Structure 1
Amino acid sequence: MPLSYDAPERIFTLSTERTTYQMRVDEHGYLLHLYYGARTSANTSYLITYADRSGMCGCPHDVADRTYSLDVLPQEYPFQGEGDMRSPLLMVRGDDGTFGCDLRYKSHELRDGKYGLPGLPAVYDEGQQDAAQSLSITLADERLGLEVELLYGLMPAYDVITRAAVIKNVGTGRITVEKAQTACLDFVTGDFDVITFDGRHAMERRLSRHAVGNGSFSVGSRRGMSSNQYNPVMVLCDGDATETSGRAWSMSFVYSGSFLAEVERDQFEQTRMQMGLASDLFSYPLEPGEQIVAPEVIMTYSAAGLERISHNLHRCIRERVCRGPWRDSPRPVLINSWEACYFDFTGDRLVELAKKAADLGLDMLVMDDGWFGARSDDHRGLGDWVPNMAKLGGTVADLARRVNECGLGFGIWVEPEMVNEDSDLFREHPDWALAIPGKDPVLGRDQLVLDLSRADVRDNLFEQLSAVLDQGGIEYVKWDYNRSIVDVYSRVATDQGKVLYDYMLGLYDLLERVRTRYPDLLIEGCSAGGGRFDAGMLYYTPQIWTSDNTDARNRLEIQYGTSFGYPCSAVGAHVSACPNEITGRTVPLGARGTVAMAGGAFGYELDLMDLPDRACEIIRTQVKTYRDIEHLVREGLFYRLSDPRADDVAAWEFVSEDGSEALVCAVVTRVDGYAKANYVVPRGLTPGATYRMVSNGTEFSADALMDMGLPLTVPNSPYENFMYRLERVD
């Protein structure tokens, strides 16, 4: 059975196709973690050892056994207050101001189907075909009247186990939650590396790998969003793990706000990996009968290297986090007006751009910032979502109709969570912005953040957006968010430590209302590019603008790091003008296209009107090529064939699930005098099969390709690019 409970041994076992997860309620009522690794039917309790390891490792008063200490034992949900001095998942303060709790097993329930989290994004199942199951384990502290319901979701076919926690006040006094994380993995032995994905605006999700030594290592965000600086995905792996060998465990946070991910190696060389809400600016009081949900963490394990971790996450997020009709559908190839026009456009100019885009074979025109209110620059107008009819030459619906007549779909840009001080909305409702009374607010891009923890603010935004979308003709919305939250103060909150969490619940509420009212609308997430690229946003927006940096050389690294935790179907990637506006670098149009086609949301970000004829022909060919390969990019297994940070060739591959098709892509990033030949070694082909090159009919042995590789022509200049389509000869 995938999910079982051994009553005599009090052991819970959760098994997927390749993995097993075990935990046990011990004789003292504590829930201990036993095992997460390759699938097994064995009782793994033998992994836990007991010894008197010094009186410094305290034991609970009622245990009175110096060989027993929570400071040493591996735990499922470590908490502060009963002797474990490592980093806890839970810290609470009672009504009397004291810290600490003592959580012991109370009850459990096994049920079919995947649990849901009202108001929060979570992995979902689609009925019996998924064979999903859920486990609920309740831990309790009777003194405080505190209960924690641990939720486990089992998705066997995806090799994924999810976790969430519901923290409840079932007593008579107030309880304040000071730290609320979701999941941890305790390892009693092992020498590990930790992999995280850091960066900054315009250089997001660069892979960092460090050996885990004694002490603590953490990454996270205090910015009110998952952030450009650190991404809420963490991988723990054997020190010698590679793409195809070694053990690896990953955690991915299904949440878009501030977070904390930690790894700690303790005094006995045991390792704890954990993830959840950030504790900075967080202090969440619960009155009797209230609860808070620690958002979901997706966990997966691989005994075959990092590649399988990515494949598991890609499948799960693409198929069971993303929702709606666009989840499984080809996305439109679009032209975004920003780099073509910036704020300087009219409806007539956009129609001319649409005509050119249609001539080049594109599917959609997206009108970016500057179409509403007094918005002629980024100093004014945010919050006033009223179309500027003089600028557009009519209503948004009128412009959409004109663009449709050119043969293109139509989309718009919005940034609903923000407001400029120079706006009608702010002049009427200055209290709707997050700002500390008596303190000059910190501005970002000349804007403040609206208080989405307030229902009246969300209602106003929904009404404004609906007034535009109800006009019809809008098929796509780019939902942007261009600053961090600094001044954490809500005029209606009784406790300011609740604001950042409640803000995120408010954002999810607003997005869900928009999705429900406009179920066919394609929403692309954006936050200064990749500042909210996380599984939480993908629950509402099936694609995300990956980075404001469209320089193809930098994008090789950005998309490489992104691929470890997220499917390529979610990656928004466009071809932009050169020299690139951020880096000043010039990369040939062909290479820019090859790099951008590695994303499932492909398009262009330049002024089509100024292009020479040769560039137009290249774009026509790129669009046609992308339509031919789009199904592989969206649905295929993704293979990282090189490391673009270190190798002379950046190479990657898509292979259909059944192995019948493959697409091998490469871009030469370095050329020396009398350059050597480069070989790209594909993976994932059907052993023993023969593959035919689509372009010229040449046939290859799959085994030879996966052994020695595919030769590229000797490069004459940097950024020569290659795209080889292979079909299995059945």
Structure 2
Amino acid sequence: MNKQMIVYDDQKKIFHLMNDNISYVFEIIEDTYLAHRHWGKRVESYSLSNKPTLKKRTFAAMNVPERPEFSLEYVPLEVSFPNQGDYREPSVQIRMSNGYTVSRFCYEKFEISDGAPEFIAFPHARDIPASGSQTLTIHLVDPVSSIRLLLFYTIFEDADVIIRSSKIINESNSGVTIEKLSSASVDRRYDGQMCTTFYGTHQKEYQLNRQSISHGKFSVGSSRGASGPQYPPYLSISKDATEFSGDVHAMTLIYSGNHLSNLERDQYNHLRLQIGLNPDTFTWQLGPGESFQSPQAVLSFSDKGYNGNSNAFHRFFNKHLIPQNWVKKPRPVLVNSWEMSYFNVSEKIMKDLIDSAKEMGFEAVVLDDGWFGERNSSKTSLGDWQVDANKFPNGIKPLIDYAKERKLQFGIWFEPEMISPNSDLIQSHPDWVMRTAEYEPLLGRSQYILDLTNAEVQTFIIDLLTRSIKDFGISYIKWDMNRHITDPASNVLNQAHAAEYSHRYMMGLYRILNTITTLFPEVLFENCSSGGGRLDPGMLYFMPQTWASDNTDGLDRQRIQYGASYLFPPYSLTGHVSSVPNHQTGRVIDFETRKHLASSTNMGYEMDIMQLSDHEKAVIKAHVEGYKEERDFLMTSEFYRLESPFDTNHCAWMFADQARNKLIVYLFRNTYDVSELSLLIKIPFIDLKANYVEVNSQKQYSGSELANCGIALENPIGDHLALRLDFEKC
């Protein structure tokens, strides 16, 4: 029996979800509607102390005629519908068989159950019995249309998050159309909060965007067929919060396709936060007896600033999202062939790379793009996943065996969702291309997209990967996706369901991923979409790590990794040390900066390690060996951002074990400023009552001194300084 974390007060009509740190409260009002009352720090009991008084407003619709002061226009709601007097953005919109979107949902009943719901069709919060969780299911019914709406709320003992989702069941005799179904909608009082989201592009992912909240609507999302680097699924609000203090409320979505986050400030200074499927690219036909389940939203709260909020996400992702067999399993330190040789790979090059990798202490070698078909450029051969006999006359299996003999793992790059116009596959299966019948599909990166709504295509990809893993004996797959959707259509999908295409594509992808990762749990899958183009919680459910960005530049990576850490544990992000001048920016940034940035992630290399001097090889070997020694610490430690590269010329962060016995601090100073005579960094989130020794200098400090006074550091002439401080408790 789990600890009771959900209680219902029948007299007050209040639901209260709580663990040791947070509470989430809402009320049944007028025996019909659900009013939001609290989401934040734990309250021991709740007696409606903050319930707003109501006042009659001219033009406000009266939902209860005998109570003219009551109107949904200014009630803080848990779920909202159009045409009920609430003119804010609805969270659910259903078009009935008569063509209208009028609905009147009423509260019917609730259920409290131990555990978390599991959804076979798509990623979700994993129910780990030992951790303790409970789920509240609310039933709302429209008695006229016979449509049932279920709202799910799950809370965990070991994570300061609420998991929300929605399900629509058609209990009528007529078909209906779902036009919008948010995973979560929460109304709060506006109190001068700021809004934080992310923007970005290829090679510039997870850029922080913080702004004031004006009257009206603000939204970010994706219609690209993927979560996208432009506006990934994240929305937070906070007032006067810093990285170190203040209340932060944040949302994300366990989904990898088209999504939308809404924030609305109305005329009464109420805020409505929503996250879910993007209604601009989504409708769903629901026949009699059919149901539709939304993806899950993750709602995170902390009163310890953005760092505290991020740590809540990190703990939840590690405990309840990442594949459990990989949570505490070290990932191999690898060298990737891409920036070394691009498409010009061969048996000799890879053998030499294996020998050099073994010499320098690497644990895996990855053969990136260019090994199959006639793949000498990006314009050909996607879909023709036969080994290029000109580059590998003996095939790949002997090469993999060669690596294994040297105690090295071997990985291969795939882009399974794509097809080239110049390929044998398109000649034999032109009907497998995502396209409309009337128009020629558009190219992106010289390639088309396979129609993953087609079960034959799904089976083809599953069989391809199954055969490759078994025949080659590979232990690692880098799964890439290098373009977005422009022609969302299929020749096997009924035209009546055309507007469902984008979501059906994602369901097809999830079926493939679920099948393959279940068949081969020991294979390490790395998520990639030209870097972080599909860096989202949905992909993290199947693949425990993501290539954060194709941009490995030592300056740009500071912002990318800093921003991505708002959601993702650093060890779930991969970062590689690459050569200079950097292939993306042309910048020449010192090795120490590049090394420390990569060491702050799931570290690897991506350069020609075979052409290095003996000294350079020795330096890399020392780095690799040192990283392997502290890998377990990095994998299990807590992460804290200390100085923001978005606000200053510096970037700093810290790894710390839970007992604060060991700390690693990285500090990056970019351009040199002659007026900055020395550097100063404060180190909060440590044991204030303990004493620490800085291992490199052997100087001792009290924890309270490091947190409140900081530590001064030399600021030598020259751009791009990178420092590492190691503290151990005395």
TM-score class, shorter: over 0.9
Out of 494, 506, 509, the position equivalent to 1:507 is 509
Runs of 5+ consecutive residues of structure 1 not aligned to the other structure: none
Q: Shift of the alpha carbon at 1:372?
A: 1.4
Which residue identity is paired with 2:147?
A: L
Which residue identity is paired with 2:99?
A: G
Moved more, 532-541 or 71-80: 71-80
Equivalent residues of 2:535, 2:546 under 8 A apart? yes
Corresponding residue for residue 434 of structure 1: 434
Question: Any idea what SS the aligned residue of 1:150 has?
Answer: strand
Question: Quick one: distance in 2 between partners of 1:94 and 1:299?
Answer: 31
Corresponding residue for residue 598 of structure 1: 600
Out of 23, 26, 46, the position equivalent to 1:23 is 26
Q: Shift of the alpha carbon at 1:613?
A: 2.8
Question: Quick one: distance in 2 between partners of 1:351 and 1:293?
Answer: 49
Corresponding residue for residue 105 of structure 2: 103
Q: Shift of the alpha carbon at 1:698?
A: 2.7
Question: Quick one: distance in 2 between partners of 1:516 and 1:112?
Answer: 25
Task: Determine whether 1:549 maps to 2:559.
Answer: no
Corresponding residue for residue 11 of structure 1: 14
Out of 32, 35, 41, the position equivalent to 1:32 is 35
Question: Quick one: distance in 1 between partners of 2:684 and 2:390?
Answer: 56
1:206-253 per-residue CA deviation (whole Å, 9 max, x = no partner) reads 111011111111110010100010111111111x11112221101011
Q: Shift of the alpha carbon at 1:46?
A: 4.0
Which residue identity is paired with 1:585?
A: R
1:261-289 per-residue CA deviation (whole Å, 9 max, x = no partner) reads 01100010011111000011211110111
Question: Any idea what SS the aligned residue of 2:563 has?
Answer: helix
1:581-632 per-residue CA deviation (whole Å, 9 max, x = no partner) reads 1111010112100011111x21011111222333222211211221232223
Q: Shift of the alpha carbon at 1:397?
A: 2.0
Question: Any idea what SS the aligned residue of 1:313 has?
Answer: helix
Question: Any idea what SS the aligned residue of 2:632 has?
Answer: helix
Distance 1:66 1:182, change over 3 A: same
Q: Shift of the alpha carbon at 1:431?
A: 1.5
Corresponding residue for residue 89 of structure 2: 87
Question: Quick one: distance in 1 between partners of 2:565 and 2:714?
Answer: 27
Which residue identity is paired with 1:117?
A: F
Q: Shift of the alpha carbon at 1:545?
A: 0.4
Question: Any idea what SS the aligned residue of 2:149 has?
Answer: strand
Question: Quick one: distance in 1 between partners of 2:331 and 2:487?
Answer: 38
Q: Shift of the alpha carbon at 1:51?
A: 3.3
Moved more, 628-637 or 174-183: 628-637
Equivalent residues of 1:16, 1:160 under 8 A apart? no
Question: Quick one: distance in 2 between partners of 1:31 and 1:655?
Answer: 41
Corresponding residue for residue 638 of structure 1: 639
Equivalent residues of 1:590, 1:618 under 8 A apart? no
Corresponding residue for residue 704 of structure 2: 703
Out of 540, 543, 555, the position equivalent to 2:542 is 540
Question: Any idea what SS the aligned residue of 1:471 has?
Answer: helix
Equivalent residues of 1:31, 1:104 under 8 A apart? no
Q: Shift of the alpha carbon at 1:472?
A: 4.0
Q: Shift of the alpha carbon at 1:675?
A: 4.3
1:543-597 per-residue CA deviation (whole Å, 9 max, x = no partner) reads 0000111101000000010011111111110011111111110101121000111
Task: Determine whether 1:70 maps to 2:91.
Answer: no
Corresponding residue for residue 679 of structure 2: 678
Which residue identity is paired with 2:562?
A: Y
Question: Quick one: distance in 1 between partners of 2:673 and 2:441?
Answer: 52
Residues 259-298 of structure 1: matches in 2 within 5 Å?
Answer: 259-298=259-298
Question: Any idea what SS the aligned residue of 1:712 has?
Answer: strand
Which residue identity is paired with 1:439?
A: Y
Question: Quick one: distance in 1 between partners of 2:336 and 2:191?
Answer: 49
Q: How many residues are paired up?
A: 725
Equivalent residues of 1:245, 1:306 under 8 A apart? yes
1:379-422 per-residue CA deviation (whole Å, 9 max, x = no partner) reads 11111222223422323322211122233210000011111111
Distance 1:718 1:44, change over 3 A: farther
Question: Any idea what SS the aligned residue of 1:391 has?
Answer: coil
Equivalent residues of 2:215, 2:266 under 8 A apart? yes
Moved more, 42-51 or 440-449: 42-51
Corresponding residue for residue 407 of structure 2: 407
Q: Shift of the alpha carbon at 1:59?
A: 2.4
Residues 41-190 of structure 1: matches in 2 within 5 Å?
Answer: 41-60=44-63, 63-127=65-129, 129-190=130-191
Question: Any idea what SS the aligned residue of 2:297 has?
Answer: strand
Which residue identity is paired with 1:15?
A: M
Corresponding residue for residue 471 of structure 2: 471
Corresponding residue for residue 385 of structure 1: 385
Equivalent residues of 2:126, 2:321 under 8 A apart? yes
Question: Any idea what SS the aligned residue of 1:466 has?
Answer: helix
Residues 135-534 of structure 1: matches in 2 within 5 Å?
Answer: 135-238=136-239, 240-494=240-494, 495-534=497-536
Question: Quick one: distance in 2 between partners of 1:634 and 1:38?
Answer: 28
Corresponding residue for residue 622 of structure 1: 623
Runs of 5+ consecutive residues of structure 2 not aligned to the other structure: none
Which residue identity is paired with 1:47?
A: N
Distance 1:301 1:675, change over 3 A: closer
Question: Any idea what SS the aligned residue of 2:153 has?
Answer: strand
Which residue identity is paired with 1:231?
A: P
Question: Any idea what SS the aligned residue of 1:82 has?
Answer: coil
Equivalent residues of 1:318, 1:569 under 8 A apart? no
Which residue identity is paired with 1:141?
A: D
Moved more, 612-621 or 14-23: 612-621
Equivalent residues of 1:253, 1:275 under 8 A apart? yes
Q: Shift of the alpha carbon at 1:661?
A: 0.7
Q: Shift of the alpha carbon at 1:152?
A: 0.8
Q: Shift of the alpha carbon at 1:696?
A: 4.3
Q: Shift of the alpha carbon at 1:540?
A: 0.2
Question: Quick one: distance in 2 between partners of 1:162 and 1:498?
Answer: 25
Moved more, 102-111 or 464-473: 464-473
Q: Shift of the alpha carbon at 1:377?
A: 1.2
Q: Shift of the alpha carbon at 1:525?
A: 0.2
Question: Any idea what SS the aligned residue of 2:674 has?
Answer: coil
1:643-698 per-residue CA deviation (whole Å, 9 max, x = no partner) reads 11232321110010111110011111121236410011112211211112233433
Q: Shift of the alpha carbon at 1:63?
A: 4.1
Moved more, 695-704 or 499-508: 695-704
Question: Quick one: distance in 1 between partners of 2:387 and 2:168?
Answer: 44
Question: Any idea what SS the aligned residue of 1:524 has?
Answer: strand
Equivalent residues of 2:258, 2:281 under 8 A apart? no
Question: Quick one: distance in 1 between partners of 2:294 and 2:557?
Answer: 33
Question: Quick one: distance in 2 between partners of 1:52 and 1:721?
Answer: 59
Question: Quick one: distance in 1 between partners of 2:86 and 2:490?
Answer: 35
1:31-70 per-residue CA deviation (whole Å, 9 max, x = no partner) reads 111111211133353433343443322123x545321111
Q: Shift of the alpha carbon at 1:314?
A: 0.6
Equivalent residues of 1:675, 1:715 under 8 A apart? no
Which residue identity is paired with 1:544?
A: T
Question: Quick one: distance in 2 between partners of 1:189 and 1:379?
Answer: 52
Moved more, 517-526 or 20-29: 20-29
Question: Quick one: distance in 2 between partners of 1:190 and 1:720?
Answer: 41
Equivalent residues of 1:324, 1:520 under 8 A apart? no
Question: Quick one: distance in 2 between partners of 1:712 and 1:624?
Answer: 27
Equivalent residues of 1:386, 1:464 under 8 A apart? no
Question: Quick one: distance in 1 between partners of 2:528 and 2:81?
Answer: 36
Question: Quick one: distance in 1 between partners of 2:455 and 2:439?
Answer: 25
Question: Any idea what SS the aligned residue of 1:272 has?
Answer: strand
Corresponding residue for residue 650 of structure 1: 651
Structure 1 residue runs of 4 or more that deviate by more than 6 Å after TM superposition: none
